[in-house]
Amino acid sequence: AQSVTQLGSHVSVSEGALVLLRCNYSSSVPPYLFWYVQYPNQGLQLLLKYTTGATLVKGINGFEAEFKKSETSFHLTKPSAHMSDAAEYFCAVSTSYGKLTFGQGTILTVHP
Amino acid sequence: GAGVSQTPSNKVTEKGKYVELRCDPISGHTALYWYRQSLGQGPEFLIYFQGTGAADDSGLPNDRFFAVRPEGSVSTLKIQRTERGDSAVYLCASSLGLAMDTQYFGPGTRLTVL
């Protein structure tokens, strides 16, 4: 069975500061890992995903994440936060046929 | 191209009533998933279709919930004898069907049971 833990339900940063959203997973098989973003009153949008190969994955809007098998982590980072990054972020792990197990989400607030 | 669409966007019903929620996936996507998102939570898996068949319905909470996809495209999630605890946003996603494939989500249907 898979599970995902997102540390910190709320993260607040200043505009221009580093964004770090934490995700740890548990999986009995090699995982596929995803980060989705949800803006208010909108659907989930894929930011990036790890399948195989390079463990540092780059996504849209300047976000990236690094798969660390030894730490069972897939933390999301962005060097410089922008006001438009304010949203809720979900980490997810996939099973062999694509069923996603999501974390509880982290709400990112960006202060001017 | 067109994304995943869901209708209605909002549904308010009374306890005990029957509701149907519709999902229209991206054309050519063989896999279709339903999830439920309660307030303050991440989406939770309900059911997965590959083509016309429900390949995994282990997430359906009880036998009041049922979903169909008769022609391998549009899917309908059906809830009988609705309860206040069924209130949530119901999300539909579609993909090409492999675990590594991106799931594209619709905007969701917000169900409120009074």
Summarised one tens digit per residue, pLDDT across range A84-104 is 999 999 999 997 778 899 999
Q: What is the pLDDT of residue B73?
A: 94
Look up residue A108 and give its two tokens: 């990112």
Give pLDDT, residue A96. Answer: 75
Task: Give the model's pLDDT for residue A6.
Answer: 97
d(CA B23, CA A76): 30
DSSP reduced 3-state for A71: helix
Which candidate in A9, A35, A57, A97 is best for mutational testing of the B interface (most B CBs within 10 A)? Answer: A97
B45 strand-pairing partners? B35
Q: Are A35 and A48 in contact (CB under 8 A)?
A: yes
- Per-residue pLDDT tens digits for A2-39: 899 999 999 999 999 999 999 999 987 788 999 999 99
- State pLDDT tens for residues B80-96: 999 999 999 999 999 99
Would you state the torsion angle of the CA atoms of residues B99, B35, A62, B102, taken in this order, to the nearest 10 degrees? 30
Residues 24-83 of A with CB under 8 A from B: 32, 34, 36, 42-46, 49, 51-52
What integer is the mean pLDDT of B56-70?
96
